[in-house]
Amino acid sequence: MAGYRPRLHSRIYLSIICLFFISCEQELVFDNPLDQINNPDYIPPDTFITVDELADSTINNSSVTITWVGNDMVIEYATRHNEGEWSGWSADTSLTLNYLDEGQHSFSVKGRYATLDEDPTPASVIFTVDNIHGPAIRVYKLMTEMSVDSTQDIHIYAEEVTGLVVARFQVQYDPSLLDLDTESVLKGDLYSDIEEILFIVEEIGSGILDVNLSTLSHNGISGTGALIKLPFTAVKAGSSDIEILNPQFRDINGDELEVNASVNGMVIIQ
């Protein structure tokens, strides 16, 4: 019988060691702050926008830098502008939005842990851009992204006009990158309720359009809206300015309306 004692003792020691490791493993799982299943004290990722006084504000700039921070153990973030697609994940905690159009904008950001658990309630902020004071003329959108062979509508807007009867201007772009059929150019929604209108679009040079709009038997239009819609087709990769040249506004008496600003745009083709 003495020969069996070492084997019995070995089994006892082995059982004690197994119990020890099982106990440690259970304790480790219980204390794991990233374990949302087994840890009753688990806290989900949370994200906070840290730009003071941006929420519900009006900014007089076409760019803004937004900063944020996450709670402990958040390692990366994704962002979204104006309900577009979420960005890829990055450790960055700030972003500068450029080429912001007039009007209301929204921005959201969410964080996640190394376990890929995401913030269930992304931080969001809404603000308004009022950078252009009329009467003015501008490209909308200020920044347009396109792929080769795709078509996008770019508008020329009148901003805060009163009694506008005649609008004449030129639009210049890079014809090696963008293609435009002059017959496809349409009047904008600012003229949607006006039946009688003189609408002339002529190509006066390579990549230069001359536009002449006049409301007939009408006292003029007021407000902000599109004068024309330009359906551009991307020819090849590159970037092209959309420039407004020589803008002229006139009222019912033929008197010139001062144009306070002429704001150009940009097209990026990838």
Residue 94: CB partners within 8 Å, gap ≥ 6? 65, 66, 67, 68
What sign results for the dihedral spanned by CA atoms 233, 235, 237, 241?
Answer: negative
Those residues with Cβ within 8 angstroms of residue 192's Cβ, 6 or more apart along the chain or in another chain? none
pLDDT tens for residues 20-55? 444 444 444 457 888 888 888 899 999 999 999 999
Pair 95, 22 in one domain: no
pLDDT per residue as tens digits for the range 167-201:
999 999 999 999 999 999 999 999 988 888 999 99
Could you tell me the residue range of the domain that residue 72 belongs to?
Answer: 47-129
Task: Answer whether residue 13 is part of any domain.
Answer: yes
Number of domains forming the structure of the chain: 3
The tens digit of pLDDT for each residue in 49-99 reads: 999 999 999 999 999 999 999 999 999 999 999 989 999 999 999 999 999
Do 62 and 19 belong together in one domain? no
Same domain, 94 and 211: no
| Predicted TM-score (pTM) of this structure | 0.82
Domain final residue, candidates 102, 129, 156: 129
d(CA 134, CA 224) in angstroms, rounded, equals 9
| Whether residue 185 sits in one domain with residue 96 | no
Do 145 and 252 have their domain in common?
A: yes
Q: Is 36 within the bounds of a domain?
A: no
